Each structure stands twice: as C-alpha cells, then as structure tokens.
Amino acid sequence: MTVIAGAVMVAPDGVVEDGWLEVDGARIAALGLGTPPRPADRDLVGRWLVPGFVDMHTHGGGGGTVVGADPQAISTFVATHRRHGTTSVVASLVTGEYAALEHDVRALAELTDDGLIAGVHLEGPWISPARKGAHDERALRTPEPAAVERLLTAGRGTVRMVTLAPELEHGLDAVRAVVAAGAVAAVGHTDAGYDITKRAIDAGATVATHLFNAMAPVHHRDPGPIVALLEDDRITVELILDGVHLHAAVARLVRNAAGPERVALVTDAMDATDIGDGEYLLGELAVRVENGVARLVDGGSIAGSTLTMDHAFRFAVEQAGFTVPEAVRATSATPARLLGIDGRTGALAPGLDADLVVLDADLTVDAVMARGEWV
C-alpha cells in the first residue's frame, strides 16, 4: 500500500485541493480530500497529481522505432515516453509492404498481450499519394477488402486504430470493415473533399489524424475535410502541439470550435525523440532532425516529431487556451476512451491502474508511476 497526499489532484469529477490517493499493488484503491487514512508515504504539497498520459499515435523514441517490431527497440521506445509521463502508448506503423506490415502487426500483438504497449495503429498504406507526408509512395495501396482483412486478422483484436484516406477506391468499405473489427477508423493523409469526408463519418469514422497536417486545406468555397471533421460532434481530432505542426492560434481555434472534450493530444514522435539532432530513418525514408524538427531529407516534409506528451500538455495550457483539467482530458481520458482501455486507465479512480504523473507548479514532470511502480 502506498499513500500519496497533499496534491492538487485532477479527478474525473473535478479538481481536488489537498487530495490524497491510495495505491494497492498496481491499482488505485481509494482517493479523497484532506487527511488520508494513514500517514502519507509521499507528500506532494504544491504539485499536481494527474492520470498517466495515453498516446495513441507515436512511432518511436529514445532511438527505438516501431518499424520492425523488435522487442528491445519497443522497450526502449516505451521507457523513453514513460519518463515523460506517458504510461500507455500505442505503436504506430508507417506505410510499408504488406508482408512487412503483417510481420510487425503480429509481433506487436504479442507485445500488446504482454502489456508493454496498448495496441497497434496502422498509419498507412491506405493513404493518399497527394497527402502522403513522410510515407513511402512506392508502398501506398488502395484498401482492397482482402488486404484490410489480412492486417486486421494479423492483429488479433490489438489493432486499435487505422488511418486511411476515404476517397480511395474501397475507402468507405474499409472504414466500415475497421469499425466492424472493433477498431477506430481515422480520416487522415487524405485529399478528400467535404462530402466524401461526411460520408466517411457516416460510415463510422470517429477520429481525425493530426488535424490540418497531411490533408487538403480549408478554402471558403471548398471546405474540404477539415471543416467536415471539425463540425461533427462524432469526431475527435488529434492535435500535435509541438509548435511546429500547428501554430498556437490554430490550436486555440480548434479548442474553441470543437470543444476541449473532442481533442486528443498525440506526439507522432519518431525514434529521434530524446536523442537529439542527426540522421535517422522513418520506415525506409531518410530523415534529418535539426533543432528538434524532423524532416525528410528528400523533399523536406515534416516527418513526425520529437515531441513528448508532457511538452504537449504544457503547450496546451500555456499557449492553446486549455485549462489543466481540459489538458488532462485531452492527454488521458479521451484517448483511453477511443482506444477502449478506459476501463483500465486514463483517470484517477478506484479500480483503475495506478498510472500517475506528478507535475510541478510549472507543469514539469516531477515523478511518474506506472501500474503502481515509480519509474
């Protein structure tokens, strides 16, 4: 048993001043206000206590990459983000050939079963060549039903999300197939217009992959996918708040237009995260990181990020107009709900995993607990 006390605690029903929380093994046993049931093991006076972050879109970190699904690389990647408060992470695969993707999905399914990661995200190969970003155009495909079934079957229920361009041949059928398999269908890397995006939402799509990035822009006579995704309450929008992918004013616009309850912060991080500038690979493509910004060597497209969730959290509060409870929701409860793991994590509540982040007054990570263990 571990008792933590004195914190400003962000619980599902609001902010608790001078809160306490009791951990029994790997789970939260109880929480409350004021004097704890026994002397505290850790006093957090002057600090925030929030749920562990849930990142549903990330490709690597600490030199470890998801591509290839090497267990040691995945362990490195997970540990890197955990130090920054992310206690649940989905492994995002970039576009590749089907045989390689099937191998990686099968291997990542095993690591999901082991509890190392929270599932798999397929970002490609069913995306638009016109909005491919840092994806290998040679491996892009249309989502033929047999191919979609092949990769979903390889995941054995661990594929949590699939990003696709609904305007492709079989695109709307692919949305339906993904949803029928129990995964989230996300609209992204798309050149779709307004109408086809609305049809994708009606078919079951519920997420916008890194809104604004790698999709047709807004025009006052041709609103495109962004307006369709923003105006529909069924859609949760991913935002990459690193100050590179989006201007702070755009982030504020989204927060005000969609409402903070429809935002999920993601990192889209690649293996250079926490390593530094240099030359890297994202899938098969060469990437150069300069001043923390990752871009393809050939063409200069943004190639993921070197962002960690604690920095995204701080950006949301300091520059994007989010309150601390709203930032907590966008980094924990909302992604956990979308991934279907909210019965296990994503909030400070009895019975859930003891996934906790201690933040200083300036919202810098002071300590992290994952499943009852300080890391």
Question: What is the Cα–Cα distance from 259 to 252, expressed in whole angstroms?
Answer: 10
Question: What is the Cα–Cα distance from 20 to 38, expressed in whole angstroms?
Answer: 10
Residue 30, classified by CB atoms within 10 Å of its CB into exposed (0-12), middle (13-18) or buried (19+), is middle
Report pLDDT for 183.
98
pLDDT classification of 181: cutoffs 50, 70, 90: very high
Determine whether the annotation assigns residue 170 to a binding site: no
Residues with a catalytic annotation lie at: 268
Going by the DSSP 8-state scheme, the letter that residue 355 receives in this structure is -
Report pLDDT for 312.
98
Q: Which helix (H) or strand (E) holds 191?
A: none
The encoded tokens of residue 368 equal 């992290």
Determine whether the annotation assigns residue 100 to a binding site: no
Angle between helices 145-155 and 171-180 (to 10 degrees): 30
Average pLDDT over residues 223-239: 98
Average pLDDT over residues 279-291: 90
Question: What is the Cα–Cα distance from 4 to 354, expressed in whole angstroms?
Answer: 11
Query: Which of residues 295 and 284 earns the better pLDDT score?
Result: 295
195: three-class secondary structure by DSSP: helix
Report pLDDT for 281.
87
Average pLDDT over residues 278-294: 91
**Superfamily classification of domain 2-49+358-374:** Urease, subunit C, domain 1 (2.30.40.10)
The encoded tokens of residue 159 equal 């594929």
List the chain domain ranges. Answer: 2-49+358-374, 53-344
Q: Are 331 and 355 in contact (CB under 8 A)?
A: no
Report pLDDT for 305.
94
- In tens, the pLDDT along 311-354 reads 999 999 999 999 999 999 999 999 999 999 999 999 999 999 99
Residue from 153, 176, 171, 54 nearest 105 by CA: 153
Determine whether the annotation assigns residue 214 to a binding site: yes
Q: Are strands 293-296 and 285-290 parallel, antiparallel or unpaired?
A: antiparallel
Report pLDDT for 329.
98
Report pLDDT for 178.
98
- Has residue 186 got a pLDDT over 90? yes
Q: Which helix (H) or strand (E) holds 143?
A: none
Residue 48 — φ and ψ, nearest 5°? -90, 145
CA 353 to each of CA 15, 26, 372: distance values in angstroms, whole numbers, following the listed order: 20, 6, 7
User: Which option is the CATH number for 53-344: 3.20.20.140, 3.40.50.150, 3.30.360.10, 3.40.190.10?
Assistant: 3.20.20.140
Determine whether the annotation assigns residue 336 to a binding site: no
Determine whether the annotation assigns residue 123 to a binding site: yes
Determine whether the annotation assigns residue 219 to a binding site: no
At 292, the amino acid letter reads G
- Has residue 220 got a pLDDT over 90? yes
Report pLDDT for 345.
97
CA 120 to each of CA 150, 305, 312, 366: distance values in angstroms, whole numbers, following the listed order: 14, 19, 22, 29
Tokens 């619980």, located at residue: 11
pLDDT classification of 284: cutoffs 50, 70, 90: confident
The encoded tokens of residue 124 equal 């490609």
CA angle 29, 314, 371 (to 5 degrees): 25
- In tens, the pLDDT along 72-91 reads 999 999 999 999 999 999 99
Residue from 170, 218, 164 nearest 193 by CA: 218
Considering the chain, what is the average pLDDT of its residues? 96
Determine whether the annotation assigns residue 256 to a binding site: no
Does the CA dihedral 359-31-375-339 come out positive or negative? negative
Question: What is the Cα–Cα distance from 92 to 101, expressed in whole angstroms?
Answer: 11
Q: Are strands 207-208 and 184-187 parallel, antiparallel or unpaired?
A: parallel
Question: What is the Cα–Cα distance from 43 to 230, expressed in whole angstroms?
Answer: 42
For the entire predicted model, the pTM comes to 0.96
CA 194 to each of CA 31, 163, 283: distance values in angstroms, whole numbers, following the listed order: 46, 17, 31
pLDDT classification of 283: cutoffs 50, 70, 90: confident
pLDDT > 90 in the chain, percent: 96
**Neighbouring-strand partners of residue 162:** 122, 185
The encoded tokens of residue 265 equal 């912060």
- Has residue 294 got a pLDDT over 90? yes
Tokens 């983000």, located at residue: 81
At 283, the amino acid letter reads G
Determine whether the annotation assigns residue 210 to a binding site: yes
Determine whether the annotation assigns residue 221 to a binding site: yes
Report pLDDT for 94.
96
- In tens, the pLDDT along 43-69 reads 999 999 999 999 999 999 999 999 999
Determine whether the annotation assigns residue 109 to a binding site: no
- Distance between terminal CA atoms of the chain? 17
